[in-house]
Chain A
Amino acid sequence: MNPTSDALQGWTPVFFAWLIAMLSTLGALFFGEVMHFPICTLCWYQRILMFPLTLILAVGLFPFDRKVIRYGLALAIPGGAIALFHQLLVVGIIPENIKPCVQGIPCSTTVISWFGFVTIPVLSILAFLTITALLLATHLRIHR
């Protein structure tokens, strides 16, 4: 299992994971900086975990380094968990009184809703989940 075979197997899925991280980051920046949507505390925690993925995954691509899977997952898994928590809050499964943002912008407010169910936290869950899945797939491919 030499580095070149690693790169052969792993480069493409990590590249797609990076692409999703880039789309999510630019999307979040567009909502926040261009459209001036208010950014709630939970959104900030998700941003904290999403933004560095664009840099870490890119560094792991040139030259391909399989360790990037570990570092990427360390950000993507907690990110997905926070996004899931956020969505449960929006849907109302987690009651109001245990939500962490009491002051300022309430996290349970939905700013966008495409096709009736696609909210920003839903996009966030999808992005973090896909990145996690791609990184796990890379791991399996390399270690087969």
Chain B
Amino acid sequence: MNQKTLFAATLSILLMAFAGGSFYYSTQQAEQVNQLAEANRASLLRMHAPTLGKAEAPVTIVEFFDPACETCAAFYPRVKEMLAANPEQIRLVLRYAPFHKGSDKVVAILEAARKQGKFWPVLEALLAAQSGWVLHHTAQPDLVWKHLDGLGLDMERMAFDITAPEITALIEQDLADAKALNVTMTPEYFVNGKPLPSFGYEQLKTLVDSALGEARGK
């Protein structure tokens, strides 16, 4: 065999082995993730989780999110669009996965706002102003407050409520559930219990559309 042929053949074999291995591994992985989600259904939905949309909606999107995560902020309006397009059909359940440093303090602010019935406006204000309070991938809870002006929050009550021990317990529960479901990155979506085959908006849209299709077929 001449040298060029040897080189080209070796290179092709290596690249094909890599591609084949990757394909095999991700197929196996997807299978495992599905089984994991199946085995941990109870971890997916909890009574305490903030929910948007009708309780009897046939399609439930469970989103593990971190208020300080850029991708979560980028996905949020697009998920809202899906909900707006199918108001009767889709329900969004948010679970906390505060993986960024300082992010748990921001979750406490969200939970305190929730006690005043202002969870969603506060969440939207925070996501829109995210670059103002997340510096170098670290959430700065002190910088959050100024973005809450004009939302009609009772700030004295907020300051008291953010220290509530049940918020810590809730975050711990959500993190434990994230661990059980092998959620290591945010955002992570489960549509009617099924995880995304791979991460991406298109994959989420496909999964939601097929769940909507199934719901209509019934």
Contact = CB atoms under 8 A, between A and B. Distances in A.
Contacts, number: 31
B4 interface: yes
Q: How large is the interface on B (under 10, 10 to 19, 20 to 34, 35 or more residues)?
A: 10 to 19
B7 A15 contact: yes
Given A23-B14, A30-B18, A58 B7 contact: yes
B86 interface: no
Contacts of B4: 62
A111 interface: no
B81 to A, nearest CB: 29
A5 to B, nearest CB: 15
Nearest to A27: B18
B103 to A, nearest CB: 16
Contact of A30 (B6, B15, B21): B21
Given A11-B3, A15-B6, A61-B3, A35 B14 contact: no
Interface string A56-88: 001001100000000000000000000000000
A92 B48 CA distance: 45
A29 interface: yes
Interface in A1-22: 11, 15, 19, 22
- Looking at A22, A23, A30, A34, the one whose CB has the most chain B CB atoms below 10 A away is A34
A15 B6 CA distance: 10
B21 A19 contact: no
A118 B19 CA distance: 24
Q: How large is the interface on A (under 10, 10 to 19, 20 to 34, 35 or more residues)?
A: 10 to 19
B164 interface: no
Given A22-B14, A23-B14, A34-B26, A61 B21 contact: no
A62 B11 CA distance: 14
Nearest to A64: B3
Contact of B7 (A29, A35, A62): A62
A64 to B, nearest CB: 9
Interface string B5-25: 011001100110110011001
A34 B18 CA distance: 10
Lowest 5 A-B CB distances belong to which pairs?
A: A34-B22, A26-B18, A34-B25, A22-B14, A26-B14
Interface of B: 3-4, 6-7, 10-11, 14-15, 17-18, 21-22, 25-26, 184
